[in-house]
Structure 1
Amino acid sequence: MKKQQIYFILFLIMVAWGFNVTATKVLVENFMPVTMTALRIFVSGLTVFIFLFSIKKVRMLTKKEFIYVFIGGLLNVVAHQYFLSTGLAQTSAANGGLILGLGPLLTAILAVIFLGSSLTSIRIIGIVLGLAGVSFIVFQGSGGNAGVSAGDIFIFISILAQAASFILIKKGSESLDPRLMTGYMLVIGAAILFIISLFVEPKGLASMANHSINLWAIFFASAIIATAMGQMGYNSAIGKVGAAEASMFLNLNPFFALVGAAFFLGEKITVTQVLGFILILFGVVLGSGAYEEMYRKIKRNKNMTVAK
């Protein structure tokens, strides 16, 4: 597959992920969030396994792999999805999408702490810009802490948990196909979320009854297209073009989340949110190391051209 085709697929995945913030917002307003999320993630995991069975990529995990998958599932699925769904029930889809845009930046910070990645001056500038962008968003229209909603905090915890899981996924994928790892994490995470829902939402399953076909269409589109196909497609792209190039496309997520919130939910996009998005965008490009990677690549290509 040519790079242009992979880039086009990544672009479509970012559209799906951005709009999925809006879809999740709609779902949590109509279903009990934790129960709905558990069932949605289970459908996603089931979809991944059906695909992997069809290409004969399913196998049992070793004890070491299971540990990575289990802890990764707790962070990437249970914590991330729990706080995402409960957070979106208490904040706007626009705010949620913009805060989720911090993913690559938080991953880079954790990589510095736990994997020994270098922390350059450019990355420090990026981290400051990214955090400033989030500050603009959560404090919009207020003079202090009153501007920070519980939903905004939950969304931040959600993306922090997911970023932490990427460190474990990187370790686990050394011996395990990332797509298979994704499938196991989704199913295990869904089971744990469902157990939690029985305690925090005793009437959760009853809340899933008597809804429109359109709402169920959103549910299955979110589960199958955004989560199952999106995760597998993104993981596959990382293997083909590298993590640095693939992560650049994550910068499109907040943009499509804003578009989805405005177009489908009628949410008003403020100047403050746009300014926050711009700061987060520059923060992610600089803080995640993507700028340095691009600079090295351009310099390397230039030197090769001169050598010829």
Structure 2
Amino acid sequence: MIQSYVLLILCVICWGSNFVFGSMLVHEFPPLLLSAFRLTATSICLLSYAWGTRKLGKLSLRDWKLLVPLAIFGTLLNQTAFFTGLQTVDATTASLILSLAPLTIALLARIFLKELITKQMLVGSVIAITGIFFVVGRSDGLQISIGMLYVFIAMFTFSVSVIIMRKLTERMGAFTATVYSTVIGSSLVIPVALIKEPLHQVSPHLWAWVLLFATGIVMQGVCSVIWNIQLTRVGAGKASVFLNLQPFVAMLVGFLLLGTAVSIVQVVGALLIVGGVVLATLQRRVKIDGVGRTRAKPDSVNKLM
């Protein structure tokens, strides 16, 4: 279980950094073309690996009924809304809105997957969300904008895609599900992007192309595969708690790369975020034959009612 948690944290570190990298890239590319280029790089990478290892399985009609909605929500709508929102919303504010994902996923998992929400998970999530407001809070408060609405849509579609992926991986491997959903999603995004934002509008710098393909392969491809595999091992609700770390990562990367100021209050918030995640995911120690051991009790988020 510890190994799964470490891998989930690595994914969240990459995704938290993506807020800053995405904010940089939307000044170089139109949002739809940015999404299309990244997804193309991701698809080529995943298909190349799948072809070399021959790990892709066959699909049934029932699989397609889950893959197509997953591609629409998890790729087409999510990526388009995310990069469109980052045109007008800064990275830290976007990370705050995306921090609603764990609670949204837990609620959807309770409704559709019958996963339990434990008191420990709930308390840990509340502590982490409190820390999030310390990290990205502002004295003048948040004002609702169209960009925030797009980021909210990105959060909700991501949450829906996690639930669909959890159902899909009951029928096939996580890698197979990731490859097919990404490729299908790319085939939906690319024609829309080319119609809405012709290629002649693109004239970015070389560093932007390098950053685009690197983030597409690592964050959209590799991290998605790792996340989806661990999702089947720890459950949707518990895995989603780690997403609370994203604002902290966005704050840290913004400070290191862009020189964004970090206050003492934000540091306190970061500690609350980490503490909340640890509390929500920590396994209880129980006594067995008089010896304190960590027993793999039925995972509360995987236990079906």
More helix by share: 1
Same fold (TM over 0.5): yes
Matched, 1:111 2:113: no
* Counterpart amino acid of residue 190 in structure 1: S
Q: Deviations over 1:222-259 (max 9, x none)?
A: 111111111112233445x5337755644433222111
Alpha-carbon deviation of 1:98?
3.5
Which residue number in structure 1 is paired with residue 288 of structure 2? Answer: 303
Q: Deviations over 1:86-126 (max 9, x none)?
A: 11111111222343233322211111222333355555556
Which residue number in structure 2 is paired with residue 160 of structure 1? Answer: 156
Which residue number in structure 2 is paired with residue 266 of structure 1? Answer: 259
State how far apart, in whole Å, the 1-side matches of 2:62 and 2:133 are. Answer: 40
Which residue number in structure 2 is paired with residue 225 of structure 1? Answer: 218
Gap change, CA 1:218 and 1:305, over 3 Å in 2: farther
Gap change, CA 1:137 and 1:158, over 3 Å in 2: farther
| Greater Cα shift, 67-76 or 264-273 | 264-273
Matched, 1:53 2:51: yes
Does the CA-based 8 Å contact 2:136-2:247 persist in structure 1? no
Gap change, CA 1:125 and 1:69, over 3 Å in 2: same
Return the TM-score normalized by structure 1.
0.80
Does the CA-based 8 Å contact 1:79-1:161 persist in structure 2? yes
Gap change, CA 1:43 and 1:135, over 3 Å in 2: same
Gap change, CA 1:255 and 1:154, over 3 Å in 2: same
Does the CA-based 8 Å contact 1:140-1:147 persist in structure 2? no
Which residue number in structure 1 is paired with residue 179 of structure 2? Answer: 183
| Greater Cα shift, 249-258 or 182-191 | 249-258
Give the number of equivalent residue pairs: 292
Does the CA-based 8 Å contact 1:125-1:283 persist in structure 2? yes
Matched, 1:142 2:135: no
State how far apart, in whole Å, the 1-side matches of 2:197 and 2:23 are. Answer: 21
Alpha-carbon deviation of 1:187?
1.4
SS of the equivalent of 2:288 reads helix
Return the match for 1:71 from 59, 66, 69: 69
Return the TM-score normalized by structure 2.
0.80
The unaligned stretches of length 5 or more in structure 1 are none
Which residue number in structure 1 is paired with residue 200 of structure 2? Answer: 206
| Greater Cα shift, 129-138 or 112-121 | 129-138
Q: Deviations over 1:35-58 (max 9, x none)?
A: 110221122122112112211112
SS of the equivalent of 2:26 reads helix
State how far apart, in whole Å, the 2-side matches of 1:97 and 1:147 are. Answer: 15
* Counterpart amino acid of residue 161 in structure 1: T
Does the CA-based 8 Å contact 1:138-1:149 persist in structure 2? no
Which residue number in structure 1 is paired with residue 98 of structure 2? Answer: 100
Does the CA-based 8 Å contact 1:10-1:234 persist in structure 2? yes
Does the CA-based 8 Å contact 2:95-2:250 persist in structure 1? yes
State how far apart, in whole Å, the 2-side matches of 1:275 and 1:307 are. Answer: 32
Q: Once superposed, what is the RMSD of the aligned Cα atoms?
A: 3.2
Gap change, CA 1:177 and 1:119, over 3 Å in 2: closer
Return the match for 2:234 from 238, 242, 251: 242
Q: Deviations over 1:144-164 (max 9, x none)?
A: xx6233333322221121111
Does the CA-based 8 Å contact 1:138-1:152 persist in structure 2? no
State how far apart, in whole Å, the 2-side matches of 1:83 and 1:133 are. Answer: 26
Alpha-carbon deviation of 1:17?
2.0
Which residue number in structure 2 is paired with residue 252 of structure 1? Answer: 245
Does the CA-based 8 Å contact 2:132-2:247 persist in structure 1? no
* Counterpart amino acid of residue 160 in structure 1: F
The sequence identity of aligned pairs, in percent, is 28
